[in-house]
Amino acid sequence: MPDANADHPLELAAQRVRQLEQQALDMHDRAQLLNKEGRFTEAQEAYAAMHRLEDEASELAATVGCVVCVLGDAPQQDASAEPSLCTTDPAVFKPYYQLQPALPWPTAATAAPTTTATVPTAAGGLPEAALRGRAVGCVLGSALADAAAMGVHWMYDLGALEELAAERRPQEAGREEEAGSPGPHTGLRREHPYGWGLEFMDPPRSPFYAYASGRNSPYGEQTLALLRSLADQGGLHGGAYADTFAAVFGPDSGFDGYRDVSTKGFLRNHVRGMPPPLSGANDAQANCIARLAPLAAAFAAPAPPGPAPAPSASSAIPVPRDGADAGGPAAGLLRCVELATRVTQNTDAAVAWACVGAAVLERMLLGGSALAAVEQTLAELEGPQGRLAPHCGPLAPELAGHLRRVLQLRTTPVPEAVAELGRNCHMPNALQTPLLVVLYVEHLAAGQSGGGSGGDAGGRGEGVVLRGGGSGGGDVVQAAVLPAEAFVWGVRLAVREGGCCASRAAYVGACLGALTAGGGVGGAGGGEDLPARWVAKYTAAEQVRSWALQICEARSRASGGSVA
């Protein structure tokens, strides 16, 4: 209730904004609970009520500005949940208005020694051409998978999804798989979701928005805003990214799509005049995981040797991370993930989850297998000197436990595992379920190939193919490569489980887009090993490829070369 002592209209409006924001959070929690209970109609009504509260809060916030400044206080329950210019140290804003340039491609001089906490490398890691192929595959694979999932996004009714799958079967019967020649995987082609799936459902059936088939989901659209900013700037500039995000999704943008809780929270803070990181919403949902691919493409590099710096007393105060600070030569991936995440989701939980997801993805992009990537990231979380410590802080033990559970389930069929882990937009399952899918596909590929063609990048025999990364003389560096059709398997497995399948597919597509680069007939140049029929259906494919190549060009220039 409004404070009876607040007799100024602006104070009353500020209190109302705070009240509406809390009511929207409560309604969101209720909607999620109803979904879990299978009460889908009631859940949709709760989501609609949540959006009405969000919209009213946003309209009122435009007249209020900084709520804390108006009321002269901070909410007692969580002082960090409400942005305030009047209580924030100006030093916090500095790194968001400095360009963090795309990093040079790793070389022998920059590669870290092989340990259980770093990506295995030799002679400086993979050649630039191989890294570029994995980077483009990561970015385009993520965006493509998101678009493939959009048609059934946020469908929680598994019975309805099974009906759609039954409709799809006669359409797909007899169609040759688009991801490559049958090889040893023919047996998988006769069953759902390997022989057919729910990708690019036309017309789309999402109960929350009406997009044309081939368009990205709201998660994918947000990722493209980040990708565009990285390409335009040649790296991460938090202020420019915030401006791009507002220009794409703001009220005067002409945007005709769906604005989720995270986006509305950002826009509400932006219209208040809040700069990054105060622009970020009080949110820690799947958005922070779904948009990691462009950041990995721009900043993936072996971690420097030595212990990580100690975390600061407050997460709001910037500290040196990844061996660099604002005045150093360059910030590493995890530092840039934190900066980018806080622009739109300014919570410690969002940063922690995003950094864990980025650390796993980085290892795959640099040549490691999925299994090795998860195991090594888990080791970092469990070690107090690991590079994740400054970004995860006291959440590290909890996150480690969630990763450990994924490893325990990695050979469990995906439907059974997702039934345990969950299928919504919240953590921990918003990272657990896509990781589970990638690990299961890697396990599946090993079984189909007989498990005798190699070992994973951690040196244990798991059937992951290791292929040389270079064609010239000198040492040949091996990288984990999955068959091209593994991308299709993984995305279909991610989509078939419904719920927040677009964010799930986006992360799966990022991982498998990197792991399958060079795994088919297309080579490793720029996403050629992704399924051609899917790429043809994705309306933004060429724009995404162009932006990804711009990022690669920035890395090549930083390395002293150029992209042919």
When mean pLDDT is compared across 47-51, 181-185, 354-358, 541-545, the lowest value belongs to 181-185
The confidence score (pLDDT) of residue 31 equals 87
Q: Does residue 436 surpass a pLDDT of 60?
A: yes
Model confidence band, residue 458 (pLDDT cutoffs 50, 70, 90): very low
Query: What percent of the chain lies above the pLDDT cut of 70?
Result: 78
Distance CA 469, CA 401 (A): 34
C-alpha to C-alpha distance for 217 and 44, rounded to whole angstroms: 18
User: Are 102 and 550 within 8 A, CB to CB?
Assistant: no
If you average pLDDT over residues 268-273, what whole number do you get? Answer: 91
Residue 14: the pLDDT is: 82
Query: For residue 403, what pLDDT band results from cuts at 50, 70 and 90?
Result: very high
Q: According to the model, what pLDDT value does residue 172 have? A: 61
Distance CA 505, CA 143 (A): 9
pLDDT at 287 over 80: yes
Other C-beta atoms closer than 10 Å to the C-beta of 470 total 15
Report d(CA 42, CA 337) in Å as an integer: 36
Identify the pLDDT of residue 468.
53
Q: State how far the Cα of 198 lies from the Cα of 498, in Å rounded to an integer.
A: 10
C-alpha 228/C-alpha 139 separation (Å) is 12
CA separation for the pair 169, 196 (Å, rounded): 7
* Helix residue ranges, H only, 345-413: 348-365, 370-382, 389-392, 396-408
CB 299 within 8 A of CB 554: no
pLDDT at 115: 34
| Position 168 pLDDT exceeds 50 | yes
Higher pLDDT, 347 or 564: 347
Q: How far apart are CA 155 and CA 163, in angstroms?
A: 12
**pLDDT bucket at 241, cuts 50 / 70 / 90:** very high
pLDDT-derived band at 61 (thresholds 50, 70, 90) equals confident
506-523 mean pLDDT: 83
Rounded CA gap, 390 and 384, in Å?
Answer: 9
**pLDDT of res. 74:** 57
Q: What tokens does 32 get?
A: 């999620």
pLDDT at position 456 is 38
User: What's the pLDDT score for residue 83?
Assistant: 67
Q: Tell me the pLDDT of the chain averaged across its residues.
A: 83
pLDDT at position 162 over 60: yes
CA distance to 153, 194, 199, 292, 431, per residue, from 424 (Å): 11, 23, 19, 18, 10
Mean per-residue pLDDT for 172-194? Answer: 50
- For 40, the token pair is 């889908």
The pLDDT of residue 119 is 37
Residues above pLDDT 90, as percent of the chain: 59
* Range in 102-111, 207-216, 371-380 the model is least confident about: 102-111
What is the C-alpha R_g of the chain?
23
Greater confidence (132 vs 82) lies with 132
- Residue 493: band (very low, low, confident or very high) from pLDDT cuts 50, 70, 90: very high
Pairing of strands 100-101, 235-236: antiparallel
Give the model's confidence band at 467: pLDDT under 50 very low, under 70 low, under 90 confident, else very high: low
Angstrom distance (rounded) from CA 83 to CA 94? 16
| pLDDT of 125 | 72
**Mean pLDDT, residues 473-486 taken together:** 74
Q: Over 50: is that where the pLDDT of 498 sits?
A: yes
**What is the pTM assigned to this prediction?**
0.86
Question: Cβ atoms within 10 A of the Cβ of 532, count?
Answer: 12
For residue 295, CA distances in Å to 359, 387, 418 come to 11, 17, 27
Which of 222, 225, 203 is CA-nearest to residue 214?
A: 203
